[in-house]
C-alpha cells in the first residue's frame, strides 16, 4: 500500500507538467500573434510617432 501514493504523486506530477506545457504552447502562440499585431501597429504608427515602443521578444 505504500507504493500507491508514490505512483499517484508521480502521475500527478506528469499530468501537471503536461498541463503546463500545453498552457505554455498556447500562450506562446497567442503571444506571437499579439507580437505580430504590435509590429503592424508600430509600422503604421511610425509615420506619426518617431519613437514607438518596440514589442518585446
Dump pLDDT digits (tens) for 40-53.
887 777 665 555 55
Which residues, other chains included, contact 35 with Cβ-Cβ below 8 Å and sequence gap of 6+? 55, 57
What global pTM score does this model have? Answer: 0.38
Q: pLDDT (tens digit, 9 = 90+) per residue, 3-43?
A: 677 788 788 888 888 888 888 787 777 778 888 888 888 77
> Cα-Cα-Cα-Cα dihedral of 31, 36, 39, 43, to 10°?
-160
Amino acid at each position: 500500500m505504500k507504493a500507491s501514493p508514490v505512483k499517484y504523486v508521480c502521475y500527478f506530477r506528469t499530468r501537471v507538467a503536461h498541463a503546463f506545457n500545453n498552457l505554455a504552447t498556447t500562450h506562446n502562440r497567442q503571444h506571437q500573434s499579439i507580437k505580430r499585431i504590435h509590429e503592424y501597429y508600430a509600422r503604421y504608427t511610425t509615420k506619426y510617432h518617431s519613437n514607438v515602443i518596440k514589442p518585446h521578444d
